[in-house]
Amino acid sequence: MSQDSNTHKSANDPKRLLEIAFEANADYLSHVRHEFRTPLNQILGYGEMLEEDAESAGQASVVSDLQKIQKASRRLLELVDTHLSTNFLKPLPSASTESPEGNRSSDSSDVSPHSIEKSIEESMGDSPDAAHPMIGRILVVDDQPANRDVLVRRLQRNGLQTSVAENGAEALSLIGTGSYDLVLLDIMMPIMDGYETLVRLKSNEATRHIPVIMISALDELESVIRCIEAGAEDYLPKPFDPTLLRARINACLEKKSLRDKEQNYLQQILQTQKRLTHELEEAEEYLRSLFPVPAESPLQVTWKHQSCSELGGDALGYHWIDETHFAMYVLDVCGHGVGASLLSATAINVLRSGSLPVSDMRQPAEVLGTLNNMFLIEQQNNRFFTIWYGVFNIETRTLTYGGAGHPAALLFTPGEGHPSLHRLKSTGAIIGIIEGMDYQQLTCSIPEGSHLIVLTDGCFEVIHGDGSMMDAEVLDHFLIEHIQEDDMAEEWFLECQRRRGDTTLDDDFTLLRIRF
């Protein structure tokens, strides 16, 4: 048979024409089903609540009548779903199929009275609402007043606070001015439908975490998938089962409650962090206040200090012991943070105030020995520190110095071309390791025009971005080239940052420069 003949036969086949017509009007059928199901859902909703009230009042005859009404409503819903479906109106087979008993087999869409009665029985039972009330504020969004009323009554029986909106635009306005724990959102509404409302809620940072359950008479799978993909927590078709509705609402409220608690804890943590940061900044300012101001005469003294964290363990100081002797010192407490900072501040206060119980602050060996016995490691929560301490005699131009586990000071003396570099080593043990340690002191002459650099290991133990350690000689070459420059310390700090590949170094950076 030719293709034209097939086309002509199809065009004259009433069943085929009917099938094409209904396939083309699937959306219309869906709308009609929605319009039929809405009042039936309302009858079922009111009927269920009235049945619960009648049972509580012991009115058995009324309960029986209400069950009949609900049974009839459910049967009508079955008929609507069956007869307003494109599948129902598809062409029937040319001949009916007979059962072995000679009876015609029923369509797969038929529902027996027994299955309807069983569904009714499963939906009935004692209401748990009064025994276990829920807590929360629910927004019900539906364009049908009766639908809103049924839902509100059901929710209020569960102990929930409710608000209502007729469409999505009104719902968004209410949510913008109030706090809600859950939104029950219908899909088909005028002005703004449920899907668009859902999308707007989930795209707004302030409302995206409010759970939404879609409730609609629409039964198409595409609608369910579309809403879930857009962020809906769940989907309930009308008529909804009261027990299932309660269970899903309760699950959403618990989830919302847990998130609210999480957000409260997060806010408390952020407030605590903000307070601690402020306190650490104040502590850092206090530690810096212990550092002396730069001096110009008779010695020019400048310094650069930068902690690698909120609080560091480095400290520096200098002061005139008398009219002739000038003391200078840099110390480095192990570790960082509050503990290291407290020990650093205590030690530097003892030195700068001259309250160290020592007979002569002009003798570095005596000062170091006394510090060692004062700050024993077992008395300082297992913390120790290194220190370089020197005293310059302005009349004899001699420097007496000693150190306890600290990096050597660098002395640059004038010479032809570049200055000469001399290392003033620290030969003593770390402060606090062993009680009663003896420390040595050395003396050297300081020519006029010399520069002394006292620093911590954070100024040269710099780890490159690739994990390798910077060669210590790099600092030597840099200082020889730039020792005369006023911003030498700042330029070296920037060079360390560049080599580290980060604005924060791995250790505190402290450098003291004295021009004689």
* Residue 252: domain span: 129-270
Last residue of a domain, one of 55, 70, 87: 87
Mean per-residue pLDDT, 114-122: 40
Alpha-carbon torsion 361, 364, 370, 371, what sign? Answer: positive
Average pLDDT over residues 413-418: 86
**Which residues, listed in sequence order, are joined to residue 361 by a DSSP beta bridge?**
none
Task: For residues 94-109, give the mean pLDDT.
Answer: 40
Distance CA(242)–CA(244), nearest Å, equals 6
Q: Which residues pair with 26 in a beta bridge?
A: none
Determine the pLDDT at residue 101.
Answer: 42
Given a cut of 60, whether residue 119 has pLDDT beyond it is no
The pLDDT score that the predictor gives to residue 11 is 53
Query: Using CA of residue 420, residue 421, residue 425, residue 431, what is the dihedral sign?
Result: positive
Cβ atoms of 67 and 120 closer than 8 Å:
yes
Helical ranges in 290-438 per DSSP H: 338-353, 364-374
Q: Specify whether 374 is located in the same domain as 443.
A: yes
Give dist(CA 24, CA 21) in Å, integer: 5
3-class DSSP state of 101: coil
- The predicted-structure confidence for 58-73, as pLDDT tens digits, reads as follows 777 777 777 778 777 7
Domain count, the chain: 3
Classify residue 255: in a domain, yes or no. yes
Give every strand in the sheet of 234-237, ordered side by side: 161-165, 137-141, 182-185, 212-216, 234-237
Distance CA 143, CA 118 (A): 32
Q: How do strand 137-141 and strand 161-165 relate by DSSP bridges?
A: parallel
Q: How many CA atoms lie within 13 A of 482 on its CB side?
A: 16
How high is the pLDDT of residue 285? Answer: 82
Please indicate, yes or no, whether residues 381 and 495 belong to a single structural domain of this protein. yes
Mean pLDDT for 412-436 is 92
Q: Is the pLDDT of residue 24 over 90?
A: no
448 and 316 assigned to the same domain: yes
The answer as to whether 449 is a domain residue is yes
d(CA 477, CA 495): 13
pLDDT of residue 85: 61
Please compute Rg for the chain using Cα positions. Answer: 43
Res. 106: pLDDT tops 60: no
Q: Which pair of structure tokens corresponds to residue 356?
A: 């160290």
Q: Quick one: CA torsion of 61, 67, 72, 74, rounded to 10 degrees?
A: 170
Assess whether 492 and 367 both reside in one domain.
yes
Q: Read off the pTM.
A: 0.56
Asked if residue 278 belongs to a domain, the reply is no
Q: Would you state the structure tokens that stand for residue 296, as one six-digit string?
A: 């110009």
Same domain for 168 and 72, yes or no, is no
Helix axes 60-83, 113-123, angle to 10 degrees: 120
Q: Are residues 484 and 389 in the same domain?
A: yes
Based on the fold, state whether residues 204 and 330 are members of the same structural domain: no
Does 323 reside within a domain?
yes
Asked if 41 and 218 count as a contact pair (C-beta separation under 8 A), the reply is: no
pLDDT score at 70: 75
Q: Domain for residue 282, yes or no?
A: no
Residue 416 confidence (pLDDT)? 81
Q: Is the peptide bond prior to 407 cis by the omega test (within 30 degrees of 0)?
A: no
| Distance from C-alpha of 88 to C-alpha of 81, rounded to nearest angstrom | 9
Judgement on whether residues 178 and 72 belong to the same structural domain of the protein: no
Mean pLDDT of 480-499: 94
210 — phi, psi (to 5°)? Answer: -75, 120
Evaluate whether residue 431 is within a structural domain.
yes
Cis peptide before 239 (omega within 30 of 0): yes
State how far the alpha carbon of 12 is from the alpha carbons of 8, 17, 306, in Å.
6, 8, 92
CA pair distance 393, 47, nearest whole angstrom: 104
Residues 298, 264 within the same domain? no
Question: Tokens 């629409």, residue?
Answer: 218
Please indicate whether residue 330 or residue 246 has the higher confidence score (pLDDT).
Answer: 330
Place of tokens 């020592």: 358
CATH number at residue 333: 3.60.40.10
Residues 259 and 400 in one domain: no
Q: What is the pLDDT of residues 163-221, one digit of tens each?
A: 999 999 999 999 988 889 999 999 888 899 999 999 999 999 999 999 999 987 666 67
Q: Give CA–CA dist 387/368, Å, rounded.
A: 8
Q: Please, are residues 513 and 489 in contact by the beta-carbon 8 Å criterion? A: yes
Structure confidence at residue 439 as a pLDDT band (50, 70, 90): very high
The torsion angles phi and psi of 285, rounded to 5 degrees, stand at: -65, -40
Query: Tokens standing for 361?
Result: 């602050």
Q: Quick check: is 277 in a domain?
A: no
Q: What's the CA gap between 45 and 74, in Å, rounded?
A: 11
pLDDT digit string, tens, across residues 296-347: 989 999 999 998 877 788 999 999 999 999 999 999 999 888 888 889 999 9
- Write the DSSP assignment of 187-233 as a string of letters: SS-SSS-HHHHHHHHHHSTTTTTS-EEEEES---HHHHHHHHHHT-S
Q: What is the mean pLDDT of residues 451-467?
A: 93
Tell which residue, 3, 69, 78, 1, has the closest CA to residue 33: 78
Name the token pair of 200.
């707007």
Domain-located, residue 284: no
What is the structure's pLDDT at 288? 81
Asked if 479 contacts 421 with a C-beta cutoff of 8 angstroms, the reply is yes
Work out the mean pLDDT of the chain and round it to a whole number.
82
457 closest CA partner among 434, 484, 430: 430
Is the separation of the CB atoms in 380 and 334 below 8 Å?
no
Same domain, 172 and 254: yes
Query: Which token pair is 190?
Result: 């005028």
Give the domain CATH number at 246. 3.40.50.2300
pLDDT at 230: 93
Q: Please tell me whether residues 170 and 222 are part of one structural domain.
A: yes
